[in-house]
Structure 1
Amino acid sequence: MQTEQTQKIMSYFIEEAKDHLNTIEQGLLNLQVTIEDPELLSELFRAAHSVKGGAAMLGINSIRYIAHRLEDSFKILQETVVVKVDDKLESLFLRVFDTLQDLLE
């Protein structure tokens, strides 16, 4: 059984993670623009990093793992000079986003 303090921490994590997911969603919905703007892409990277870190701290390995892969993907996009966004790439990112969102519900 979770203690009251653990429940508060978990509730705080979920609230914060949802805010970070909102940032990620906004970036993914306009992915080509996001990829072309280093600042926007860094925001997505930091949001995924924050979700990963919070999940790791709480031992929520499924969320940690998925957020880490998403963070890695954003890092690759940051390091790649030219990326053409197509339906397949958008779909892949949105499926990962949906999975994280489902896990936080």
Structure 2
Amino acid sequence: MASEQDERIKQLFIMEAEEHLVTLENGLVDLKSTMSDSETINDMFRAAHSVKGGAAMLGMHSVKKVAHRLEDCFKIIREHPVDIDQTVESQFLKG
């Protein structure tokens, strides 16, 4: 059974993750426009990175894995911008 402190840490992670997921969703909803805004891409990278770290700390391996993949995608996009069409945008939203 998790200790009271463990439960508080988990709840804090969930609250923070919700904020990070809003950042990710807002950027992904209109990815074509997001691509021209390096600050938003950086915000999305940091959001994925934060979720990855928190999930790893709590042993949430599947969440960590998905967040890590998103982080990798945003790193690539940040370093090598690409043209976004509806197919690419749909693939990100599925993730």
Give the TM-score band, short-chain normalised.
over 0.9
Report how far residue 52 of structure 1 moved. Answer: 0.3
Equivalent in the alignment of 2:88: 89
Report how far residue 22 of structure 1 moved. Answer: 0.2
Equivalent in the alignment of 1:79: 79
- Structure 2 unmatched runs, 5+: none
> Structure 1 residue 44 and structure 2 residue 51: aligned?
no
Give the Cα separation in 2 of the matches to 1:11 and 1:95. Answer: 26
Runs of 4+ in 1 over 3 A off after TM superposition: none
Give the Cα separation in 1 of the matches to 2:79 and 2:43. Answer: 15
Report how far residue 64 of structure 1 moved. Answer: 0.3
Give the Cα separation in 1 of the matches to 2:50 and 2:88. Answer: 23
Equivalent in the alignment of 1:20: 20
Q: What RMSD in Å do the two structures reach over aligned CA positions?
A: 0.9
Give the Cα separation in 2 of the matches to 1:60 and 1:48. Answer: 14
Give the Cα separation in 1 of the matches to 2:80 and 2:36. Answer: 11
The sequence identity of aligned pairs, in percent, is 53
